Amino acid sequence: MPHFIGRIETTRIGRYAGGERYQLTRKHPIIQFLTNPNFEFSPDLPHDNPQFMSNNGLWCAKIPEGSTPSPPRIKQLGERGILVLDVGCSTGANLLLLEDFLQEVADKDVKVKGYENCESRLTEARAGLAEYHTTESLLHPRVREAVKRYFIETKKFDPVFEYDETTFYYALRKEFTGRLAALLNFGDARNIPEKDNSADITICTYVLRYYQRVEQWKIFKELLRVTKPDGYIFTEGFVFRKGDRGVEAQNCNVATAISFYDPRVALPYPCGASEYEFIAPVTCIEELDDKIKQLESKGATKKRPKVSRYTSQTA
């Protein structure tokens, strides 16, 4: 297995690999994983194989010349249409972008639904107060164009330290308030108001970090419940694919996507790298239930890390 140098996490839209854009950012976008072609590498290649390289402390892999990558994953999901759930979406600033980018590549209809358990966030969004913020240099040109289509730049903060970048803030254009509101729903990650096996893609990033360990496992069980077999589950620190009875964490040889910036390179996606998540792969539902019971019997009440809720509004 290739060796990871540094931590990698998933994010919805607009933050990219530190090896490509900025040394301190190691966040791989979900849209890249779903909409770009991918390439599976042999798991027995040695770490020193020249196929692997590290850019600014982040592993990536050169795609062999003459190879044929697999088609985008979004094309392999859903027979008649694709349902995407974004659980813990805050004001939903990413939902419009997520819907557009997935629909652009998919050969079928894509429906995105956002769930948030904070009524004040939903009220803000329905009043047109959804805000999107990021460092603009981390936005791929295609993403930047989409951001400016839906949002207006409102302010920016210059870097405090020499290694920081300017952060840009965007407010939703008033004409898109109704469209965004139609995608938003009240719902809690611990009890998602969706039927079993209903979603092709379930996203739950920057949510688990706010819960104790046993609650994280219960939320993960709920994410697993609403996701179809062969569907994908994204958390901050994992890419999972649901099987017939359980779930498989995608390893770094399989879970790659060809880079937006350099089509000669494939980027790996995370396998449990987040410092805030305590879940791990399970082979079946029964194993997941046993894990929850064990934690409850031990009185597992690991204190939640102190993190800012503000991160849920970023890309």
How many domains in the chain? Answer: 1
Residue with tokens 């900025």: 22
158-162, 218-222, 300-304 — most confident range:
218-222
Measured CA to CA, the distance from residue 142 to residue 154 in angstroms comes to 20
pTM of the model: 0.83
134-173: per-residue pLDDT in tens? Answer: 766 556 677 778 888 998 988 877 766 655 667 778 899 9
pLDDT band at 130 (very low <50, low <70, confident <90, very high): confident
Mean pLDDT of the chain: 77
The answer to whether residue 299 sits within a structural domain is yes
Helix axes 213-226 and 285-297, enclosed angle (nearest 10)? 160
The answer to whether residue 210 sits within a structural domain is yes
Of 31, 24, 106, nearest in space to 267 by CA = 31
The answer to whether residue 186 sits within a structural domain is yes
The answer to whether residue 226 sits within a structural domain is yes
The answer to whether residue 3 sits within a structural domain is no
What 8-state DSSP symbol labels residue 261?
S
Is 68 strand, coil or helix?
coil
The answer to whether residue 54 sits within a structural domain is yes
pLDDT at 19: 34
Of 107, 182, 143, 129, nearest in space to 30 by CA = 143
Report whether pLDDT(213) > 90: no
The answer to whether residue 4 sits within a structural domain is no
Higher pLDDT, 295 or 299: 295
247-288: per-residue pLDDT in tens? Answer: 776 665 567 787 777 777 777 776 555 666 766 666 666 777
Measured CA to CA, the distance from residue 113 to residue 92 in angstroms comes to 9
Q: How many CB atoms lie within 10 A of CB 72?
A: 21
Residue 269 sits in which domain range?
A: 9-313
pLDDT band at 29 (very low <50, low <70, confident <90, very high): confident
Of 228, 237, 280, nearest in space to 255 by CA = 237
The answer to whether residue 185 sits within a structural domain is yes
Report whether pLDDT(215) > 80: yes
32-87: per-residue pLDDT in tens? Answer: 889 988 877 665 554 445 555 555 445 667 777 788 888 999 999 988 899 999 99
